[in-house]
Amino acid sequence: MATKKFALNTKPHEAEIGDVTLQFQPEVMGDTFLDTYSRLQDTMQRLNVDLTDLTSVDLEQVRETTQALRVFLARLMLPESAATFVSWDVLSAAGKVLSSHRTPEEAHEAADGKAKVTVVDNGLRLPDRVLVELLEWVVELYGGGQRPPTSSSASAPASSSPGTPGRAGSRSRGSTSTRGR
Q: Is residue 4 part of a domain?
A: no
- Helix (H/G/I), strand (E/B), else coil: 175: coil
- Measured CA to CA, the distance from residue 8 to residue 156 in angstroms comes to 6
- Measured CA to CA, the distance from residue 108 to residue 169 in angstroms comes to 69
Q: What's the pLDDT at 101?
A: 94
Are 70 and 134 within one domain?
yes
Q: What's the pLDDT at 43?
A: 86
- Contacts of residues 138-147 at CB distance under 8 Å and 24 or more positions apart, as own/partner, are 138/24, 138/73, 138/76, 139/37, 141/13, 141/24, 142/28, 142/33, 142/76, 143/33, 143/37
* 84-116 CB burial, b ≥16 within 10 A, e <16: bbbbbbbbeeeeeeeebbbbbebbeebbeeeee
Are 137 and 77 within one domain?
yes
Are 50 and 114 within one domain?
no
Q: What's the pLDDT at 48?
A: 82
Q: Is residue 36 part of a domain?
A: yes
Residues 6+ apart with CB under 8 A from 114: 90, 98
* pLDDT per residue of the chain (181 residues) written in tens, 0 to 9: 899 998 888 899 999 999 999 999 998 887 888 888 889 888 888 888 776 666 677 778 888 888 999 999 999 999 999 999 999 999 999 999 999 999 999 999 999 988 899 999 999 999 988 999 999 999 998 887 543 333 333 334 443 444 444 444 444 444 444 444 4
- Structural domain for 77, as ranges: 10-86+125-158
Q: Is residue 114 part of a domain?
A: yes
Q: What's the pLDDT at 53?
A: 67
- Measured CA to CA, the distance from residue 113 to residue 57 in angstroms comes to 32
Q: Is residue 180 part of a domain?
A: no
Q: What's the pLDDT at 52?
A: 66
Do residues 162 and 100 lie in contact, with contact meaning Cβ atoms separated by under 8 Å? no
Q: Is residue 163 part of a domain?
A: no
Q: What's the pLDDT at 165?
A: 44
- Measured CA to CA, the distance from residue 88 to residue 90 in angstroms comes to 7
Are 30 and 102 within one domain?
no
- Measured CA to CA, the distance from residue 17 to residue 57 in angstroms comes to 26
Query: Which of 59, 37, 35 lies closest to 47, judged by CA?
Result: 59
Q: What's the pLDDT at 85?
A: 96
